[in-house]
Structure 1
Amino acid sequence: MEKQPIKSHEDLEAYKIAFDTAMKIFELSKNFPVEERYSLTDQIRRSSRSVCANLAEAWRKRRYEAAFIAKLNDSEAEAAETQTWIKFTVKCSYMDVNTGRELYGNYNRVLSILVTIINNPHPWLIKR
């Protein structure tokens, strides 16, 4: 099976995983306690969505290596932050351990891809 060319940030495997996982987090977080609405719920939703948003921004900044890497670094940081919130949700018993492991693992996959691109950005950059 042939790989399809990447035409937009939405074609990136990291983006697809991050988007799907952010949507799972959104659905699961609807069941978090009301007292968490302005803390953990908002934080985990914000950071999980930010992984995708920063990837989209990075994609559009491929003309400039430093800007591209900076946005990928932001995405990486947001993915790691989301992993921390996942740990809190499991420890607070708002999410079962197996679901937490699955979501955490998804972000490990995203982080692996991001680090690979950050360490070798040249194939991704737009040639002038």
Structure 2
Amino acid sequence: MASDFRKLAAYRKGFQLASQLRKATLQFPRNEYAFIDQIRRSSRSVCANLAEVYGVRQYQKHYQSKLAIVVSENFETQVWLDFALEAAYISKEDYTNWRQQSEEVGKLLTHMQNNWQRYKNWNNTN
């Protein structure tokens, strides 16, 4: 079975954002380990759960349920970005950039939610 979920724009863009956030958190204060863990987990969860969506794509209810989790994790990442900006752990420029990336991922996820039939036959998407 091919791992075609990696071809999805939402996966690629989500992976890029999660990688950038992981690198950024290396500069956060060490005593913020819980905060660091949460922003890393939520951003990585977008990609991990998209892989699970791929696994259940033939079943609309499972697909929609799992995809709702992906959307929620993306929103959670935005909350952690808000906190990181408020704590001055990231610059306003980085915040704006990463927030825009997250919004773009969100738009792609919304498209996936609204077009289940297209993604049912995943091999025809990009």
Question: Could you say whether these structures have the same fold, taking a TM-score greater than 0.5 normalized by the shorter chain as the test?
Answer: yes
Match of 2:16 among 13, 17, 20: 20
Equivalent residues in 2 for 1:84-123, closer than 5 Å: 84-123=79-118
Match of 2:27 among 15, 25, 31: 31
Q: What count of residue pairs does the alignment treat as equivalent? A: 120
What's the CA shift for 1:70?
Answer: 1.1
Match of 1:40 among 28, 35, 54: 35
Higher RCO, 1 vs 2 (CA within 8 Å, ≥6 residues apart): 2
Q: Which amino acid aligns with 2:5?
A: H
Higher deviation after alignment, 92-101 or 118-127: 118-127
Hey, what does 1:60 align to over in structure 2?
55
TM-score (norm 2): 0.91
What's the CA shift for 1:126?
Answer: 4.0
Q: Distance in 2 between matches of 1:95 and 1:49?
A: 19
Give the superposed CA RMSD.
1.3
Q: Between the two proteins, what is the percent identity of the paired residues?
A: 32
Match of 1:8 among 4, 7, 28: 4
TM-score (norm 1): 0.90
- Note the residue ranges of structure 2 that are not aligned, 5 or more in a row: none
What's the CA shift for 1:117?
Answer: 1.2
Higher helix share: 2
User: Could you report, residue by residue, the CA deviation over 1:1-59 in whole angstroms, capped at 9, with x for unpaired residues?
Assistant: xxxxxx6110000000000110000000011001101x210000000000000101001
